[in-house]
Amino acid sequence: MMMHTSLNKARIPGVAATAAVSAIFAVLAPQSARAAQGIDASVAYYPGALISLPAFVAKDKKFFEKNGLNVNLVPVNTGPAMTAAVASGSVTFVNNSWDNLIVAVEKGLPIRGVAGSTVRVPFALIARKGLALPHLSQGYPEVLKDIVGKKWGVVALGVSVQYLEQKLLTEAGYKANDATFVAVGLPATGRPALEHGTIDTYLSIEPLPTIVEDKGEGKVVLNLAANQGPKFFQGLGYNGWWASTSTIKDRPKVVAGFVKSMEQAYCWYSNPSHLDALVAIMRKYAKVPELSATEYKAMVKRLVPTFGPAIDARTIDTWSRLVIEQGQVTRPETRAGVIDAVAPETYSCSP
């Protein structure tokens, strides 16, 4: 019976060939599906924080997909955790500050910057409700007269936020220790510390500055994101996207696709006509229930100019000097020493 069946198939043209081709496609189908989805990569972001805006846009607008990447967004809470994740290879790309990168490279960690994320320092200095601010209208450096010698809150001692605060003091002619620095953690704990008077000021990224102002919980006395403050910080990039040196060497298509996605995302979110769509994306990834729709939109609009994919030499040179001043590294670093060649030094969108 089996031989008879085989002979019948042989007499029917194409049956055997069709069966063979079907078998091949059955094996290749899962591989083809994965190829259509792109090369797998993971991108870390700060949950609930607007500073991860470029990654949210690239994911939501499918720029990652258009550049051959199947990206999984991974929540990571802190800068040190970002560094550990990319150095260990558990995450492909992370978002972290340039001072952390310079320190990590000097320590011998196999990581490099591959794209910019912010082109301004995205922090604002908040004063608690009830603190006398007679010099507020005069701006920096006069406003520091109202808060010098006070309790200045920081995420943790010995991190970039504290360096920024100390530089605000020294650039205004004060000493770096002309304030009491108090570690109060991330904004979720920094906010009640302001409310209860545990600290007098707190340097924070959005959305806390907007929440504090709009809810009458305090005052923004200095907005570095708006290029207020010393010239040292004006137009200075703060953080960017890193990858491991093994990823850069062994997966160049992944890195190139990621960088291209960041550039395309920038050209999209920097277009004023996309503001409403951008707000919708951000409200999906970074909900802020304390703010009304109008307040949230205004905040996002203010934030857009702080982002960009470029990493200029001045940014790395400036952060290098700062971490040397703080005793975090022993030698100056250059852009070429910590940033891979794939990263754009300047970038503008084509008309």
28 located within any domain: no
Mean pLDDT calculated for residue range 157-184: 94
pLDDT, averaged across the chain: 89
For residue 44, report the phi and psi dihedrals to the nearest 5 degrees.
-85, 145
269 located within any domain: yes
**pLDDT tops 80 at residue 68:** yes
Specify the residue for token string 């990834």.
285
Are 138 and 210 within one domain? yes
Are 113 and 81 within one domain? yes
4 located within any domain: no
% of the chain surpassing 90 pLDDT = 83
**Residue 252 · residue 131 · CB < 8 Å:** no
Q: State residue 2's pLDDT score.
A: 35
Are 130 and 228 within one domain? yes
Are 163 and 224 within one domain? yes
141 located within any domain: yes
Q: Which domain-ending residue is among 233, 263, 283?
A: 233
For residue 257, report the phi and psi dihedrals to the nearest 5 degrees.
-65, -40
**pLDDT tops 70 at residue 17:** no
Six-digit token pair at 313? 């030499």
3-state secondary structure of 112: strand
348 located within any domain: no
Q: Which domain-ending residue is among 187, 211, 233?
A: 233
27 located within any domain: no
7 located within any domain: no
Q: State residue 159's pLDDT score.
A: 86
Are 155 and 187 within one domain? yes
Are 190 and 330 within one domain? no
Q: State residue 36's pLDDT score.
A: 52
**pLDDT tops 80 at residue 350:** no
Are 107 and 135 within one domain? no
| CA–CA distance, 303 with 329 (Å, rounded to integer) | 31
% of the chain surpassing 70 pLDDT = 89
Overall number of domains in the chain: 2
pLDDT band at 6 (very low <50, low <70, confident <90, very high): very low
Question: Any idea what the CATH number is for the domain that residue 188 is in?
Answer: 3.40.190.10
Are 183 and 212 within one domain? yes
From residue 7, alpha-carbon distances to 4, 19, 23 in Å are 5, 15, 20
Specify the residue for token string 């992944």.
254
Six-digit token pair at 19? 């069966």
pLDDT band at 25 (very low <50, low <70, confident <90, very high): very low
- Give the model confidence (pLDDT) of 76-85 as tens digits: 988 889 999 9
Q: State residue 253's pLDDT score.
A: 97
247 located within any domain: yes
Domain enclosing residue 60, as ranges:
39-120+236-338
Are 169 and 143 within one domain? yes
Q: State residue 307's pLDDT score.
A: 98
Specify the residue for token string 């520091």.
144
The residue ranking higher by pLDDT, 296 or 24, is 296
pLDDT band at 160 (very low <50, low <70, confident <90, very high): confident
**Residue 224 · residue 143 · CB < 8 Å:** no
The residue ranking higher by pLDDT, 25 or 257, is 257
- Give the model confidence (pLDDT) of 197-207 as tens digits: 999 999 999 99
Are 148 and 286 within one domain? no
Tell me the pairing of strands 201-204 and 124-128.
antiparallel
| CA–CA distance, 273 with 92 (Å, rounded to integer) | 32
- Note the helical H segments in the chain: 2-11, 15-37, 53-60, 63-66, 79-88, 98-106, 160-171, 187-195, 208-214, 245-250, 252-269, 275-285, 293-303, 313-325, 335-338
Are 240 and 116 within one domain? yes
**pLDDT tops 80 at residue 157:** yes
Six-digit token pair at 116? 């910019």
Q: Which domain-ending residue is among 233, 248, 280?
A: 233
Lowest mean pLDDT among 235-239, 322-326, 332-336: 322-326
Determine whether 103 is exposed, middle or buried from the number of CB atoms within 10 Å of its CB (0-12, 13-18, 19+): buried
Q: State residue 121's pLDDT score.
A: 96
**pLDDT tops 60 at residue 35:** no
Are 190 and 250 within one domain? no
pLDDT band at 49 (very low <50, low <70, confident <90, very high): confident
- Give the model confidence (pLDDT) of 282-321 as tens digits: 999 999 999 999 999 999 999 999 999 999 999 999 999 9
| CA–CA distance, 304 with 134 (Å, rounded to integer) | 31
